[in-house]
Amino acid sequence: MADPVSIAMGQGSSCWGCFQSLVDIHLNLATVLPALEIKYWQAVADFKLHHLESYEDKSIVVGLYEGMARTEEDIHLLKLMREKCQVLIAFGSCSCFGGIPGLANFSDIEECYDVKFRENFTVSGGKVPSENLPGIAPVVKPNNSYVDIDIYLPGCPPTSKLILTAVSKLLAGEPIELPPHTVCHYCDREKKETPIEKVLRPYQGIADPDRCLLEQGYICVGSSTWGLCEGQCVNKGATCRGCFGPPPPIMQDHGANSMAMLGTYAPLPPEEIKEQVKDPLGTFYRFDYPTSYLGKIRIKREEVKKT
């Protein structure tokens, strides 16, 4: 067997779902894990931050960074991973685009602190904790604004199949080539090119299991979303919310594309669309607000405040 390939797995502010998806390659772990020399993976191995800090620069072949970087510690770890690893992978949609936690950018950080620490149904009069804790940045900025990313592996989480493909290619030293199709390519439902007459909310009525959900009026952003998921939600009756982000080029504006897509399917007067689509920002930008055009303006606004 070839020598194990050194790997570091870092975790920013995240849910650990991407790593759970890695673990879910199941019996393939028996071939993959022995091929890896784990240099850092806080949830699995007992290496501390000072171990990672002590390694030579670029001495680790592959680094996977899960999550977005909002705390000072997250940002430190992200930069450290960049220094120590030859190839840095943005692992999952939070790491690629900011992900669902990027929705926090809809609010000012003080408003976030209010409901979390100061006043809510069970909390009252709390102060923002600060002792032995890293500071929190006022907004979620995309990881690629802090460091250069070599490979984007999106998904919330990336499927186990996708992770296995990517890791196997990396171990073999081969390029990762992924199909560029959108979710619709993998959806079993029939499209009849019929325009939407009314936008429905997902709990309304009982959907026809054989027809395109969007054409039935349920907002589904499958046609503007990278189909690396292979249509797992749409084929089980759930509309796509765009968790894999846009198809390549990966930094295109997914939210804007999704809205344009809805416009072509629902030729309704703008006032009606506005009335029927309850939460455009939270629907079309759910996983990638920080890397979108609108989201960048939001981040800019915060930077202007500082000066």
Q: Tell me: does residue 188 bind other proteins (CB under 8 A).
A: no
CB-based burial, 108-145: b 16+ in 10 Å, e otherwise: ebeebbeeeeeeeeeeeeeeeeeeeeeebbbbbbbbbe
- Please report how close the Cβ of residue 42 comes to other proteins at its closest, in angstroms: 5
- Please report how close the Cβ of residue 175 comes to other proteins at its closest, in angstroms: 26
Q: Which stretch binds other proteins (CB under 8 A): 56-64, 172-180, 198-206, 254-262?
A: 198-206
Footprint of other proteins on 124-183 (CB under 8 A): 126-127, 129-134, 136, 156-157
**How many residues sit in the footprint of other proteins (CB under 8 A)?**
84
Q: Between 258 and 277, how does the x/- string for binding to other proteins read (CB under 8 A)?
A: --------------------
Query: Which CB atom, from 132 or from 307, has the smaller least distance to other proteins?
Result: 132
Sheet containing strand 60-66, edge to edge, reads 36-41, 5-11, 60-66, 85-91, 151-153
Q: Tell me: does residue 112 bind other proteins (CB under 8 A).
A: yes
Q: Tell me: does residue 202 bind other proteins (CB under 8 A).
A: yes
Q: Which of 243, 266, 268, 299 binds other proteins (CB under 8 A)?
A: 243
Q: Tell me: does residue 16 bind other proteins (CB under 8 A).
A: yes
Footprint of other proteins on 279-298 (CB under 8 A): 279, 282-283, 286
Query: Which CB atom, from 29 or from 267, has the smaller least distance to other proteins?
Result: 29
Paired residues of 11 in beta bridges: 66
Q: Which stretch binds other proteins (CB under 8 A): 164-172, 197-205, 259-267, 297-305?
A: 197-205
Token pair 């499958």 in the structure block, residue: 222
**Would you say 154 and 242 are in contact if contact means Cβ atoms under 8 Å apart?**
no
Cα gap 170→153, rounded to integer Å: 13
Q: Tell me: does residue 101 bind other proteins (CB under 8 A).
A: yes
